[in-house]
Amino acid sequence: MNDKVYQAVKSGTSDNNINFHDFRNLIVDLGFVFRRQSGSHMIYYHPGINERMNIKPEGSKAKPYQVKQLRNLINDYGL
C-alpha cells in the first residue's frame, strides 16, 4: 500500500490532487474488488462491508467527492 496516498486521502488536505491511478490502487489495497465497468465508471465492492465505490477519473486525478467518500469509509470501517 502506498502510505503517502493513504495519508493524503485520510487527512483530507489534498482531495483535489490525488492521482487517479494511485487512488484506484489504494482502493484495491484496502480490500475492494473490481466488479464491473460501465463506460469510464469502475465499480468496486468490499466483501466485508455493505458499500461500493463507483469511481471515474477526472483527467489524471480522482474526483474530490470520491476521495471524500473513500475517507469516510476508511474512518467508518477502520480500513
Looking up cell 489504494 gives 26
* pLDDT mean across residues, the chain: 94
The pLDDT score that the predictor gives to residue 1 is 78
SS3 2: coil
The model's pLDDT over 55-72, given as tens digits with 9 standing for 90+, comes to: 999 999 999 999 999 999
Output 4-9 pairs: Cβ under 8 A, ≥24 positions apart. 9/67, 9/70, 9/71, 9/74
Report the percent of the chain where pLDDT is more than 70: 100
The pLDDT score that the predictor gives to residue 56 is 94
Mean pLDDT of 45-55: 92
Q: Is the pLDDT of residue 51 over 90?
A: no
Mean pLDDT of 38-58: 93
